Structure 1
């Protein structure tokens, strides 16, 4: 066994072996994998091997597609070994119109990234799958390039390919502990000796929590028991085989929560029961390796009965065996791929409930990330740092049970799932509830999405939602009067110390504010020039800066700041110590002036300035900024005083027409200004210049990570561009995200965010256009409606920024006093 390696991968399932192979393929041959028992132990060996392109996120769709490409042809061509891949295709059937809308939306994602999905009528479904009963079915989606693979054959083929490229695999070699030497390298103590490594990857699957604890991590992963039944021969399938008919596609009924695939001359049927079964939550039994649990047919019998009604041939088969084993679930059912929070050169490749389906692509994704020091595509949906300390034991169990039961749930836009909540709340939570707040969860924080006028919860939909008019009223009140919004979920950091100014000057593509009490916007980049993070930066002193960023970026941004800060720089996470109240609208100054002695007029308190003031006897750092495009302030207060501040502003606001508003109104109003949002419009895939942020890029005489890559892409023919569009009004649709932009029958762009601009009366979207786009007319397909879009050369609302600058209010005041 080697005693030194560039990367040590812990875990020999499909994901870990895939990473080893892809690292070696990238030229990092000095890599090794250690496995506690045998390759595929844990969950890989007993997986059903389903492989699909179907996903609600483009990164995950491409990850799954990469796996299929490998299993179907790549590995066999490289090694001569079989993977057992069957190119059967796959179907999903439905009786629900909203499910059909979901199918159409996924088809739209596939249109842009290049993967085929076909929407079928019931008659077309019957032609492809003659054994299905059509009772109640209104349609289906067909995935012609899907299939299934033999998990053991595929994993061993990847292992052989990795060894052929110089990688080493050591089986029966459990990890005992981790340490660090004086040079900061990992010391991986195993049963067969200690390995010195630059990088360590937790790909331990079923055992990932145990390995995580050794690394100093508390991973929010739960093993869940999943059963599937392997049948004896089915006469109808035997007859098809004798007649030379092709293998039947995999078929899924999401409403009834089962999948069915042909297995030689029989079937495998896999139910996902609503009452899920967590297993070994507090630790995997030490002797566990390649064992199964006893069958529990009583818990899935009713689902199998429904599958028999849909495919009657299933009822003609006897049971050959029942497979009941653990698979891992995260709180959102997506894998954890990327850096381990707070652990330099520690990585995660685990938590996938679809480890074989995603393993090939996930290994390739992380290999690129490690080698290039930047993710190859947007990683937000899979980055393990999307969970924080709020994801404790109860939370991870509640969410895993929820995800298992909703394995086939419809993924609606604006959906908020309730399990495990609330976790983090401000002292204003009870008052907001009394005001009718309908909360969403943002990195564990309860944050009002909108304020309902009654107790009836609107149905989830892919069309225009039931809260449409309520949010419209919130936006109009902010335009005409004043509103308050709870922004406490934002991530908040203080950067200080003798090296703070130099650090901030090198943080990103814009310079930091040059004077105390001024505010700026800085985008930190990846090595490839993409937007890694967006920070609102307030200079408090030459050696002290206050930064805010997106709620979902808390751990991501803390890692980024700490990894880039040098000597003489202190980073403090203030997220749970401060609350933020936004007070926005033309009457915001009048309202706040009634609560403070500070002079809030333009000369004393200009736009993009910050001051320490007292509002209603609460000390606040007041930032004169407005993401909604109105005159306004953000009031940053100690969290334990936030309830006092909220109550005082709410009470005083009655005289000024104040009403609370939520994040949905914020999203609508920021699009009317063309403001980009991190995680949606701003991602690692596109540079600030491609994103239309030229005014916030300063390269002259400056050095920062990603600078050259950004400029090189801008000068190339591969550069994309972002634009703001108005959308044809049809009275039914509300654009949201991932709609393909078309010119004729050519896909030339993708929508990153959308909303209705209630102050301007226009549906609006931000979209990236590829180099293929021309000046020809464009349209987007929102589910099944083609809507024309028109590029806007300026923001449709207050393009000269008179409102946030206070110029409009100042003119009115001058006229008032003569």
Structure 2
């Protein structure tokens, strides 16, 4: 492990041991099985070395670390980025330049941008889209009424002879967010959320990973890989849509399992070949019925089903799913047809009040409905039972799956920590890591928080334990008196055992 860092100037640019996100590189290399990394500690080796060394040893022996090491896992970077010298040079410079900067909740990098653009990028940019960077992709964050805010080439903050950008609108908008209060465009995100709740919104989710699991033993592999029962319609192929920020991690994990289990099937990556639009809201059916060449009624197209159909004369895969808690459909579209389909949907939705919305709105809408986010609500050291996701595990069947024994053992022993939803009446921003107090004792901390505009409350999710060491039952959750501590100030909070928004799950099923 390296503990130091050197900065040297070579040919007008710098080289250093700083990694692209100022975190170490650890774990098994995606390209070479059995080759593990423990490097890139960026002047923090003395601080991190002991714990990271212990976890790396466990990783090598058991195939995974004991603790959550996802933030240090080499698989957090997409291979197209680690193969790109410009991206590595720019991002490692910025991580060095911002080494001692305050980390604000919604900051974005200026370096290594525009590496991966989806087919709607230019269309949305002209409509005021303020982009976020995830896994190299430029994905919609929110939409500014002030016009286009393009991300410009990296200027190295004026170092090495580069001239700093002047009147850089995107950088100015980021600077406006350097606060631990609500951002100045809080009401803009509110409008995106409430448009989705009351009419409909279109979310460009094209940055998702799109994989096909195919081959003679694809069903056998899917049964083993996925905790849910996917054997109801066995075939020789499965289509996987995976959150874009974790696509490389998922790819590496699945291919490793396929190799270890010697399944006769393979994983195909079609992420760049397909776009993905999600149209959500109570008016989504009325609008999409004008665009899609298929019956969208509850009887003909129930929730959690999909069909191959046509939209604006283009073949698309339509899925009735939601990550915001509304009736809606995802359209998975060949790259060349995305703009045509997008324009057709927006034209049909114009008289119904359709609007573009970004991932800041998705974050708010999804926490309001209680949908879990990877590496916030769910980490590698959490279990489905602790996260309230037992329904995703096919424990009533006899089908074996990866991790089944661990889930069954925990179920028999009892759940000693549990993910709980909290709301506060005071409209204060929270971001995660706030302490959770129960009856005067700290019992956990918040993993993820946001503001829910439909219920007009701050919402936070965190895992809690019983200080006495006993199981955390639903009665234990309900019986406590709670407070959330933000920056040394505590706020009374209410614990929920169901989602505070649409707890009966009617809206996703089309019942308004």
Q: Give the drift of 1:513.
A: 5.3
Per the TM alignment, residue 403 of structure 1 is displaced from its structure 2 partner at its CA by 1.1
Asked if 1:337 corresponds to 2:26, the answer is yes
Residue 717 of structure 1: how far off its partner (Å): 5.8
Q: Which residue of 2 aligns with 1:555?
A: 248
Distance 1:488 1:513 in 2: 28
| CA deviation map 1:797-816 (0-9, x unaligned) | 222222111133xxxxxxxx
Contact 1:669 1:757 in 2 (8 A): yes
Partner of 2:353: 657
Distance (whole Å) between structure 1 residues aligned to residue 389 and residue 268 of structure 2: 28
Instruction: Tell me how many residue pairs correspond in the alignment.
Output: 468
Does the Cα contact within 8 Å between 2:215 and 2:236 map onto a contact in 1?
A: yes
- Could you tell me how far 1:342 is from its partner in structure 2? 3.1
1:236-259 CA-partner distances (Å, limit 9, x unpaired): xxxxxxxxxxxxxxxxxxxxxxxx
Structure 1: runs of 5 or more not aligned: 1-14, 16-42, 48-205, 207-222, 227-275, 280-326, 516-540, 809-818
Which of 691, 697, 708 is the equivalent residue of 2:405? Answer: 708
User: Deviations along 1:335-379, whole A, 9 cap, x unmatched?
Assistant: 011121132222111122123332222211111112222221112
Aligned partners of 1:277 and 1:558: how far apart in 2?
Answer: 33
Q: Distance in 2 between matches of 1:363 and 1:674?
A: 36
Displacement after TM superposition at 1:591 (Å): 1.1
- Counterpart of 2:81 (choices 387, 390, 399) is 390
| Secondary structure at the counterpart of residue 443 of structure 2 | strand
Residues 513 and 738 from structure 1, CA distance in 2 versus in 1: closer, same or farther, beyond 3 angstroms?
Answer: farther
Pairing partner for 1:785 from 482, 489, 494: 489
Alpha-carbon deviation of 1:706? 1.8
Matched with 1:754 is 449
Deviation at residue 572 of structure 1 after TM alignment? 0.6
Q: Of 297, 314, 331, which residue of structure 2 is paired with 1:618?
A: 314
* Equivalent residue, structure 1, for 2:14: 278
Q: Which 4+ runs in 1 deviate beyond 6 A?
A: none
* Cα distance in 1 between the residues matched to 2:186 and 2:488: 20
Q: How far did residue 739 of structure 1 move?
A: 1.5
**Conserved 8 A contact 2:386-2:415:** no
Change (3 A) 1:755 1:610: same
- Whether 1:425 and 2:129 are equivalent positions in the alignment is no
Equivalent in 360, 372, 375 of residue 679 of structure 1: 375
In structure 2, what is the Cα distance between the partners aligned to 1:646 and 1:378?
Answer: 39
Structure-2 residue corresponding to 1:409: 101
So what's the TM-score if we normalise by structure 2? 0.87
The answer to whether the Cα contact below 8 Å between 2:419 and 2:463 also exists between their aligned partners in 1 is yes
CA distance in 2, matches of 1:490, 1:699: 29
Distance in 2 of aligned mates of 1:668 and 1:592: 24
1:588 aligns with 2:284: yes
Q: Distance in 2 between matches of 1:767 and 1:742?
A: 11
Aligned-pair Cα RMSD in Å: 2.0
Secondary structure of the structure 2 residue equivalent to 1:365: helix
Alignment of 1:507-586 (within 5 A): 507-512=225-230, 514-515=232-233, 542-565=235-258, 566-586=262-282
Cα distance in 2 for residues equivalent to 1:380 and 1:439 = 24
3-state secondary structure, aligned to 1:337:
strand
What are the Cα deviations for residues 174-212 of structure 1, in whole angstroms up to 9, with x where unaligned? xxxxxxxxxxxxxxxxxxxxxxxxxxxxxxxx9xxxxxx
Paired residue for 1:350, among 23, 27, 39?
39
SS state at 1:329 partner: coil
* Deviations 1:138-175 (CA, angstroms, capped at 9, x unpaired): xxxxxxxxxxxxxxxxxxxxxxxxxxxxxxxxxxxxxx
Structure 2, unaligned runs of 5 or more: 148-171
Partner of 1:445: 137
TM-superposed deviation, 1:745: 5.1
User: Per the alignment, in what secondary structure is the counterpart of residue 113 of structure 2?
Assistant: coil
Conserved? CA contact 1:713–1:719, under 8 Å:
no
- 1:807 is paired with a residue whose SS is coil
Range with bigger deviation, 577-586 or 460-469: 460-469
Of the three residues 446, 463, 466, the one matched with 1:768 is 463
